[in-house]
Amino acid sequence: MTAPDGGDRRNRTVALACAGVFVAMVGLSFASVPLYDLFCKVTGYEGTTQVATSAEGVKVLDRDVTVRFDANVAPGLKWHFEPEVHSVTLKVGELGTVKFRAKNLTDVATTGRATYNVTPDAMGAYFSKIACFCFTEETLQPGEELEMGVTFYVDPAMVDDPDSASIRTVTLSYTFFPAATPARPVAAVEPDAAAKRL
């Protein structure tokens, strides 16, 4: 058997390089969604809000900010969903809690998950949620109505950012989508599940 000549060796190298690029591209396509999600959460890009563990040590400024609430339901999820109040005015840095109500309008259990953002987009980096129904999926039994809360504050650091310093009104918008996972039966719900809901 003769040794491969230079042309065969180059062809194999090119084929291996192409295969490596293909594998890398497939890997990046699967990683792109979580990486983009992480990027948005860290930077507040496109109005993605921040998550905080508490408001302890947050300075409350003598400056008002009005937070408006927008509630939507995507096609495919037959729920009624609305905030109990349409806006609140708080001091920058002040902790606020607002309740939303959701009702399953069907005769079967359905599960939804809320996506969210704030506008103007520049406020995404300064709108911090401590607790929110949007952190988990929500399952409603036939005709069930549920009160859910969101606890938040507007970070005082906004006043030092030229892009957000002049903002006085923020809109927090939610859209409930059908969850990818099927609704769990009532018997499968953990006893402390109700404690997670505000």
**pLDDT tens for the 198 residues of the chain, in order:** 555 566 778 878 777 777 776 666 655 554 443 443 444 444 444 445 677 776 788 899 999 999 999 999 999 999 999 999 999 999 999 999 999 999 999 999 999 999 999 999 999 999 999 999 999 999 999 999 999 999 999 999 999 999 999 999 999 999 999 987 554 544 444 444 444 444
Q: What is the CATH number of the domain that holds 120?
A: 2.60.370.10
Q: Are residues 172 and 102 both part of a single domain?
A: yes
Closest CA to 190 of 149, 115, 150, 136: 136
Same domain, 166 and 144: yes
Do 15 and 94 have their domain in common?
A: no
Compute the distance between CA of residue 109 and CA of residue 183 in angstroms, rounded to an integer.
6
Q: Clarify whether residues 54 and 39 are in a common domain.
A: no
Domain boundary among 9, 28, 43: 43
Partners of 115 in beta bridges: 175
pTM as predicted = 0.66
What's the pLDDT at 6? 65
* 39 plus 55 within the same structural domain: no
Q: How many domains does the chain have?
A: 2
- Domain span at 179: 50-196
pLDDT at res. 48: 58
Distances from the Cα of 166 to the Cα of 1, 91, 129, 153, 156, angstroms: 78, 14, 21, 17, 12
Q: Are residues 129 and 180 in the same domain?
A: yes
7 and 30 together in one domain? yes
Q: Which residue has the tokens 């401590």?
A: 130
* Predicted pLDDT of residue 51: 74
One domain for residues 137 and 189:
yes
b/e burial code for range 76-92 (CB count within 10 A of at least 16 → b): ebebebebeeeebebbb
> Same domain for 76 and 150?
yes
Supply the pLDDT for residue 55: 73
User: d(Cα 88, Cα 68) in Å, to the nearest integer?
Assistant: 7
The verdict on 139 and 173 lying in the same domain is yes
Assess whether 69 and 22 both reside in one domain. Answer: no
**140 with 96, same domain?**
yes
Quote the pLDDT of residue 40. Answer: 42
